[in-house]
Amino acid sequence: MSQSEDPATRPTVRLRPKAEARAIRHGFPWVYADELVTDRRTKAIAPGTIATLEDGERRPLATVTVNPNSKIIARVMSRDAEAVIDRNWLTVKLARALEMRVRLFDAPFYRLVHAEADGLPGVIIDRFGDAAVIQPNAAWSEVMIADLEAALAEVTGVTTIIKNGAGRARNLEGLDEEMVTLRGGIDAPVEVPMNGAIYLADLMGGQKTGLFYDQRPNHAFAARLAEGARVLDVFSHVGGFALAALAGGAQSALSVDASASALELASKGAEAMGASARFATRQGDAFDTLDALGQEDERFDLVICDPPAFAPAKPALQAGLRAYERIARMAAPLVEPGGYLVLCSCSHAADLSQFRAACTRGIGKAGRSAQLIHTGYAGPDHPMLPQLAESGYLKSLFFRLD
């Protein structure tokens, strides 16, 4: 379904009189449900409908997409209240996103669209050579998925497009979970070259889109610390830090993850690199495995812990910070004196200062002292919208321990 309605005939929604229109004018992309006049007409708008947003004095403010089922009831598509949101509009956005990635990366393996920061609210698109995975996490992108697919194929030339309709973000939008091939097909994991390593991404059955591109610069920094080192990569997924460390000359790398299928892909990646003899895996709960390694008196020159979001939203913040502190406390004793500990968070609810404080407490409680030598963020294919703190979610702290 294409949304190419005449702006003059589409629905209008209005901010409450006391709602702050200035934030929208200055680039903030969301309107929360308690900021909008939600009368019977507004509540009846179908999720994903394009509408005109007015300020409290009924002056046109922006073109938005509306979802009465979401706490984020409106997302700004354009600050032009006359914008027409159709396939051509999508093509322009995708072409702009592609132009920057082509400048930055030698091979077509990257995040092509990072939601609001690339002007496509709620949409994630990761590219894997001739294949791409779309996560349509906002209702409008579900409504316009056919246009999005066609525009993506036109702009990039990819021959396989997969829709990954799973995850917490879709649940918050009231959308069903669905995994479907929209174009072409794929029957095996895709080899992804990155930082001198080779990763295998399962585009149909893996976590998220199959690979986490956001840690690319942090993998590279860790690889600089890995030459000749014994490396432990906890919450490894398909071998993120471990394979990069092997490419950087690590003596050995041990990947720990709860998923047997992810570790199998990590092993196949090591094999593709010719590094199988230096690579090992250990399946199990991360906390249990850290405890077991401590009991076994194991020590490593470089330890990385890259867990899933312990604080995905504000209600989970305090529990999440305690979990990050616990990870640091358990991991620090496994680091050789003079070795390195890398602690990561993808929780946007925990800001950098809170995360750093939790990690520092954990290291201190383990009886270790540390230098913070580097703070890493997501790569440039994950741009941040300055007005939206949530778009800058990733933090990676590199410590050198006594």
305 noted as active-site residue: no
What distances in angstroms separate CA 293 from CA 114, 120, 288, 308, 366, one per listed residue?
Answer: 37, 44, 9, 21, 15
Q: What is the DSSP secondary-structure string of 302-332?
A: EEEE----S-SSGGGHHHHHHHHHHHHHHHG
Contact 51, 34 (CB under 8 A): no
Residue 184 neighbours by CB distance under 10 Å: 14
CA triplet 39, 45, 47: central angle to 5 degrees? 130
Check 305, 344, 346, 359 and give the catalytic one: 346
Q: Which helix (H) or strand (E) holds 41?
A: helix 40-43
CA triplet 111, 115, 116: central angle to 5 degrees? 135
101-106 own/partner pairs: CB under 8 Å, 24+ apart: 101/127, 101/381, 104/380, 104/381, 105/381
| Alpha-carbon gap, residue 188 to 78, rounded angstroms | 39
**Enzyme catalytic residues:** 346
